[in-house]
Amino acid sequence: MQFHQFFSPSVQHTLDVVGIFVFAISGALLAVRKNFDVFGIAVLAEVTALGGGLIRDVIIGAVPPAAFTDLGYFVTPLLAALLVFFLHPHVERIQVGVNVFDAAGLGLFCVTGTTKAYDYGLGLTASACLGLATAVGGGVLRDVLANETPSLLRWDRDLYAVPAIVGATMVVLCIRYDALTPLTSGFAVITAFVLRLLAMRFHWRAPRAWNRRSTVREE
């Protein structure tokens, strides 16, 4: 049994599509804020939703990537982009709800990305790194295309990568000690999800350099 197929194919596909949809919403909303046209909105939605998985699949040799072999994965971000194009004022008002689903997608993808990488023969450390890339890679590509400093690298953003790192680390530790089951993998998803929610609620941020003496103006 492959680790990334604990759930039935239909359940796994549904979870993936939900995660892709909410990631696409965040990309499309940024495009609206940057005053992009409809094509730009669609591109940012696609990149945000599928970028992390594409990076993982290309690195591990799972080609063609799932984003191009499953029409649902490709079409879902376009539907999200269409929704934001017409209803972005309303979507903005439910941003808190979108953030919650985004946190859920983060938790899910850091776990499934890690297990899929391990199934393709990578070591534990490399698998955890690709789990992180699956969860946050799309957001980094989104920010780069939008000419923004990636949120992942900004000190004034609530913790995002750290919850994904924790989730991926839990998975590889479970693999190492032969304890990865649907229950433990689900617990890793929930842990990353809850950590992200707590980071948003209490504005947890990573520390900057010790005794920092930077002359760069803080934005």
Average pLDDT in the 33-40 region? 93
Residue 163: predicted pLDDT: 96
Measure the CA–CA gap between 204 and 171, rounded to whole angstroms.
23
Confidence (pLDDT) at 153: 87
Residue 106's pLDDT band, with cuts at 50, 70 and 90, is very high
State mean pLDDT over 67-94. 89
46-50, 94-98, 201-205 — which is least confidently predicted? 94-98
Where are the domains positioned within the chain?
3-202
Percentage of the chain beyond pLDDT 70 is 93
Residue 94: what pLDDT? 73
Q: How far apart are CA 28 and CA 14, in angstroms?
A: 21
Answer for the pair 62, 120: CB distance below 8 angstroms, yes or no: yes
41 pLDDT exceeds 80? yes
What's the mean per-residue pLDDT of the chain?
89
Q: How far apart are CA 75 and CA 17, in angstroms?
A: 10
From the CB of residue 49, how many other CB atoms can be counted at a distance below 10 Å? 31
- What are the DSSP calls for 17-56, one per residue? HHHHHHHHHHHHHHHHHTT--HHHHHHHHHHHHHHHHHHH
Q: What is the pLDDT of residue 120?
A: 93
Lowest mean pLDDT among 50-59, 63-72, 88-97, 133-142: 88-97
pLDDT-derived band at 99 (thresholds 50, 70, 90) equals confident
